[in-house]
Homo-oligomer: A and B are copies of this chain.
Amino acid sequence: MKKDITLIVLAGGEGKRLWPLTTNKALFPFFGLPLFTHTIADARVAKMIIVTNPVNDEIIRSYKFPIPTSTVIQKEPKGMADGLLSCREAIAHSPIVVMSVDDAIDSELLSHVISTDTFGAIPGLKRSGPFGYIKFKGDRPIGIVEKPKEGDEPSPYINIVCHYISDGSELISEIEKINSSADDVYEKALTNLMARHEFAFVPYEGVFAPLKYPWQVLSVMNALFDGLEYHKGKNVTIKKNVIIEGAVYIEDNVKIYENTKIVGPCYIGKNTIIGNNSIIRESHIGADSVIGFNCDVTRSYIGDNCWLHMNYVGDSVLEKNISMGGGAKLANLRLDDGEIATLVQDKKISTGRNKLGAMIGAGARVGVNASIMPGVKIGANSFVGSGIVLSADLPEDSFCLLDSKMVIKKNTRPAPAKREDFRKHI
* Chain A residues within CB distance 8 Å of chain B: 240-241, 243, 257-259, 261, 273, 275-277, 279, 288, 290, 292-294, 296, 299, 305, 307, 309-310, 312, 314, 321, 323, 325-327, 329, 331, 333, 335-338, 363-365, 367-371, 373, 381-383, 385-389, 394, 397-419, 422-423, 425-426
- Complex interface: chain B residues within 8 A of A367 (CB): 331, 335, 371
A368 close to B336 (CB less than 8 A): no
- With A325-B331, A401-B409, A408-B399 known to touch, is A293 a contact of B309 (CB < 8 Å)? no
- Complex interface: chain B residues within 8 A of A413 (CB): 335-336, 338, 399
Q: Residue among A310, A385, A406, A414 with the most chain B CB within 10 A?
A: A406
B386 close to A387 (CB less than 8 A): no
Ordered by A's residue number, 19 sampled pairs between the chains whose C-beta atoms are within 8 Å are A240-B243, A259-B277, A296-B310, A305-B417, A307-B422, A331-B386, A337-B415, A363-B417, A369-B370, A371-B386, A385-B389, A398-B408, A398-B409, A399-B411, A400-B406, A400-B408, A401-B406, A401-B407, A404-B405
Q: How many whole Å from A123's CB to the nearest CB in chain B?
A: 30
Q: How far is the CA of A253 from the CA of B182 in the complex (A)?
A: 59
B389 close to A404 (CB less than 8 A): yes
Q: How many whole Å from A194's CB to the nearest CB in chain B?
A: 41
- Complex interface: chain B residues within 8 A of A326 (CB): 296, 312, 314, 329, 331
Q: How far is the CA of A423 from the CA of B275 in the complex (A)?
A: 12
Q: Residue among A257, A368, A400 with the most chain B CB within 10 A?
A: A368
- With A296-B310, A312-B309 known to touch, is A327 a contact of B327 (CB < 8 Å)? yes
- Complex interface: chain B residues within 8 A of A370 (CB): 369
- With A310-B312, A409-B399, A411-B397 known to touch, is A404 a contact of B388 (CB < 8 Å)? yes
Closest to A421 in B: B354
Tell me what chain A mostly uses at the interface: helix, strand, loop, or mixed.
loop
B399 close to A410 (CB less than 8 A): yes
A406 close to B382 (CB less than 8 A): no
- Complex interface: chain B residues within 8 A of A325 (CB): 329, 331, 333
Q: How far is the CA of A399 from the CA of B334 in the complex (A)?
A: 13
Q: How far is the CA of A380 from the CA of B59 in the complex (A)?
A: 57
- With A400-B406, A407-B401 known to touch, is A321 a contact of B371 (CB < 8 Å)? no
Q: How far is the CA of A292 from the CA of B329 in the complex (A)?
A: 15
A404 close to B402 (CB less than 8 A): yes
- Complex interface: chain B residues within 8 A of A398 (CB): 408-411
- Complex interface: chain B residues within 8 A of A275 (CB): 426
B335 close to A418 (CB less than 8 A): no
- Complex interface: chain B residues within 8 A of A404 (CB): 388-389, 402-405
Q: How far is the CA of A288 from the CA of B422 in the complex (A)?
A: 12
Closest to A409 in B: B399
A383 close to B426 (CB less than 8 A): no
Q: How far is the CA of A365 from the CA of B413 in the complex (A)?
A: 11
A383 close to B335 (CB less than 8 A): yes
Q: How far is the CA of A307 from the CA of B355 in the complex (A)?
A: 15
Q: How many whole Å from A308's CB to the nearest CB in chain B?
A: 12
List 20 additional contacts besides A335-B413, A398-B411; criterion CB under 8 Å.
A259-B259, A259-B277, A261-B276, A273-B426, A312-B327, A314-B326, A323-B335, A323-B419, A327-B369, A329-B368, A338-B413, A363-B414, A365-B415, A371-B386, A386-B389, A387-B388, A399-B409, A400-B409, A401-B407, A401-B408
